[in-house]
Structure 1
Amino acid sequence: MFVKAPWQVDLVSYNTTVGQPLPEYYFTLNLDPEAGASLAGFTFQQIRGADRQFPFLLERTRAFLGRPRREGRPVPVQARFNNDTRTMTLEFPEPIPPGSTVTVSVVPWTNPIQSDTYLFQVVAFPAGADPLGSPVGVGTLRIYENTYW
């Protein structure tokens, strides 16, 4: 159980135009040094956004310590995606210790085909038996129309 659970998620993508192929979405969590438990994994669920049909390439999922464009060492991650509930489950076989910043990159086939503000609810799970998930917050991803036409 977390004593001080992660309380904020940063969601970043550097490719935000409708339909762009193979964008990376970076979900970053900071673990407090006083967290009381390592991070075993987290889920994110799409809770808003016009397009609910963009699938992810699970084999392209990767994780690392640090932030996007400031990557530290890679860490193992396993991913599962339920398209019916629009929920991605990410598990760290080697839990992330307190005081760390971890980023997971997920890659859909393409960005959504409709511009909108897409929201993803994030829940973190501590390492240990019978973990109780802690809501972290909502990541916001804005997808824009192509204005070059």
Structure 2
Amino acid sequence: MKKSVALGLSTLALIALSASPLYAIVAGGQTYFLVVPRLVGATTTNVSASYRIARYSFTVSVPSDSGEPLGALSVGIPAGIYTPYPGEVSVVDATGARLATQTTAQSDGSLLITFQQPVAPGSTVTVQFEPIRNPKGGGTYLFEVRALPAGTNPFSYFLGFGRLEFFVGGAGSSG
């Protein structure tokens, strides 16, 4: 009887602990999100192949229950797309205010955009590449978007592909 009472109390204690709010998950020395951010969309200001001055935008929403602020975003640049220089990369919040970031080109062809002030849960940010030249050929281009929580040794989460389509002779915007 004492074992079952002790086991019951242990179970209640675990339930009570799991119901308390968690602000970060650190396991094996890595920081994780409780709820993963979401890639909301990808747009370009012009879908014409070879267009010289376009803007590509990738919008990410950080859930209010993410448990950890957003520390960085990684955007993989597909073959055939001009890789922007750090000065051609900016990030804005939902109000359009520019956020302070540091952009670093990675050896795998992606850009790592690190926030000087981590993005709070419940926020939305948009990464912009501008000016950028559209690819010479038409087609669908997939930009791999990843999110990293702020904190020690962050785990990189694949959010999805930002999909942009370009057309030979096309004009206009994708969104």
Hey, what does 2:137 align to over in structure 1?
114
Hey, what does 1:64 align to over in structure 2?
92
Runs of 4+ in 1 over 3 A off after TM superposition: none
Query: Which structure is larger by alpha-carbon Rg, 1 or 2?
Result: 2
Whole-angstrom distance in 2 between the partners of 1:7 and 1:101: 9
Corresponding position: 1:3 with 2:34:
yes
Normalized per residue, which structure has more strand? 1
Secondary structure class of the residue paired with 1:74: coil
Task: Please tell me the residue identity of whatever aligns with 2:124.
Answer: T
Task: Please tell me the residue identity of whatever aligns with 2:87.
Answer: E
How far off is 1:9 after superposition? Answer: 4.0
How far off is 1:87 after superposition? Answer: 0.9
Hey, what does 1:74 align to over in structure 2?
98
Higher relative contact order (CA 8 A, sep 6+): 1
Hey, what does 2:45 align to over in structure 1?
14
Corresponding position: 1:139 with 2:170:
no
How far off is 1:56 after superposition? Answer: 1.3
Secondary structure class of the residue paired with 1:73: coil
TM-score (norm 1): 0.85
Unaligned 5+ segments in structure 2 are 1-31
How well do the aligned residues superpose, as a CA RMSD in angstroms?
A: 1.9
Secondary structure class of the residue paired with 2:87: helix
Whole-angstrom distance in 1 between the partners of 2:162 and 2:122: 21
Hey, what does 2:83 align to over in structure 1?
55
Whole-angstrom distance in 2 between the partners of 1:36 and 1:12: 28
Change (3 A) 1:121 1:55: closer
Normalized per residue, which structure has more helix? 2
How far off is 1:80 after superposition? Answer: 2.0
Instruction: Report if the CA contact (8 A) 1:78-1:93 is conserved.
Output: yes
Secondary structure class of the residue paired with 1:10: strand
**How many residues are paired up?**
140
Whole-angstrom distance in 1 between the partners of 2:140 and 2:133: 16
Unaligned 5+ segments in structure 1 are none
Identity percentage over the alignment?
Answer: 26
Whole-angstrom distance in 1 between the partners of 2:87 and 2:77: 20
